[in-house]
Each structure stands twice: as structure tokens, then as C-alpha cells.
Amino acid sequence: MKSGSRNSCTHRVGFGMDVHRLVEGRALVLGGITIPSPVGLEGHSDADVLLHAISDALLGAAGLGDIGQHFPDTDPRFKGVASLSLLNRVGALLEQEGYRVVNIDSTVLLEKPKVAPYTNAMRSAIARTLGIQPDQISIKATTSEGLGEIGRGEGAAAYAVALVSSR
């Protein structure tokens, strides 16, 4: 944090969103938790759409770019990687820059399966990874009411906002 800068502020907000396609033969990993499902999210990493949105919200709040810049999907090191480990690195980057997480709010958009039974486990996994408390993380889930690509079960989306403060 450049404390002497005229633009210095104590709180900053960030936004992130992500979309991944649902395909057969992949595990469905959301918020770091594997959910029983006949289809899973396709991507270079484990394609955890929720953690990608949250990571982008955190990076955005800190003005540190996006996960595509930090973890390019052309880099073989990130092939099949657990997105919790990417989130861990995002948390470390923020800490390095002198930011701490105030809270995260997020919404997963997925037709099925139901996400609600798993949100507490996701909050715990994310909290552990970022070194914060589960009550600093909110995860909401909704469907697309059968409308569009998500409604047809072709994919999932996630949106997140994060508030960070400088030490």
C-alpha cells in the first residue's frame, strides 16, 4: 500500500464473475468442495467457477489484475490444479500488498444439483484457505429457472464481490 499516495483509502471493493461449461466425465468442484453430480465443470484447472469469481473479486479489490494474468490457462503448471491452491496464492498476494479481507459475498448460478447443502462446507474451506472466519464469507445459490444456457444445464456461472481493507 502506498500510504503516502493521494488516492490511498482504507477500504476497496472488487467484483468477479466466471462461467464454465458442464460436461460429462469431470468432477463438479464448487467452492473447493466436490459435489456428487453426473456432470462437472470443464476447464484447465479444476474449473471451480465460484473460486475463480471470488479470486477475481479479491484481485480486483486490490487492483492486482485477474486470475488469467496470474495463472494463465496455457501454463501446464496450472493444468488440473485445485482452485483452492490458486485462491491461497491470491490471498498471499493481497497480504503481501498489505490488504486484509473484510468480507466476500457471492452467488452461484447453476440449474442442478442443489448447491445449498454444501455452502457451509465451502465457506469453511475458503475461510481456512484465506485465513479468515467463515462468517466473513457468504455463498448464495440460485437457478436460471430453465432459461438460457445455464437453465439448460450447459454450464454454471458465479458472481462475487469482495471488500478489503489496508492495514
Q: Under the rule (CB under 5 A), what is the footprint of Mg ion?
A: 18, 52
Nearest to Mg ion of 68, 146 (CB atom): 68
11 φ, ψ (degrees, to nearest 5) = -125, 145
* Cell numbers standing for residue 61: 479489490
Nearest distance, CB of residue 18 and Mg ion, angstroms? 4
CA angle 49, 16, 150 (to 5 degrees): 45
Nearest to Mg ion of 18, 111 (CB atom): 18
Nearest to Mg ion of 34, 166 (CB atom): 34
Query: Three-state SS for 28?
Result: strand
Nearest to 58 by CA among 161, 165, 167, 134: 161
Q: Which residue is nearest to Mg ion (CB)?
A: 52
Nearest distance, CB of residue 133 and Mg ion, angstroms? 26
Nearest distance, CB of residue 19 and Mg ion, angstroms? 8
User: Radius of gyration (Cα) for the chain, nearest Å?
Assistant: 16
Nearest distance, CB of residue 91 and Mg ion, angstroms? 17
Answer yes or no: are the C-beta atoms of 115 and 156 closer than 8 Å.
no
Nearest to Mg ion of 42, 105 (CB atom): 42
